[in-house]
């Protein structure tokens, strides 16, 4: 799915993000506010992903929507 669409409808997609990455808090999701780079950064911090792995995970998730 096009990231612009996810960003524009972030409130709807944040629930799906929480389903996929349940350790993310509501505050983090609010801060991310649809920004892909911020999502990748939070995934790196929370899950210990390397930068490339975080990008791949977000790609895989968004393509599956």
pTM listed for this prediction: 0.95
Cα separation of 51 and 46, whole Å?
Answer: 12
Domain count for the chain: 1
Please report, for the domain that includes residue 59, its CATH number.
1.10.1470.10
Q: For Cα atoms 42, 61, 8, give the angle at the middle one, nearest 5 degrees.
A: 75
Q: What pLDDT is stored for residue 38 in this prediction?
A: 98
Give pLDDT tens digits for 34-65.
Answer: 999 999 999 999 999 999 999 999 999 999 99
**57 contacts 46 by C-beta, under 8 angstroms:** no
49 Rama class: left (phi>0) / alpha (psi -120 to 50) / beta:
beta
Q: 33: domain range?
A: 3-63
């Amino acid at each position: 799915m096009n990231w612009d669409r996810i960003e524009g409808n972030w409130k709807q997609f944040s629930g799906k993000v929480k389903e996929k990455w349940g350790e993310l808090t509501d505050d983090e999701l609010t801060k991310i506010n649809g920004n892909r780079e911020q999502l990748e950064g939070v995934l790196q911090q929370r899950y210990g992903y390397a930068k490339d792995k975080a990008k791949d995970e977000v790609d895989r998730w968004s393509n599956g929507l």
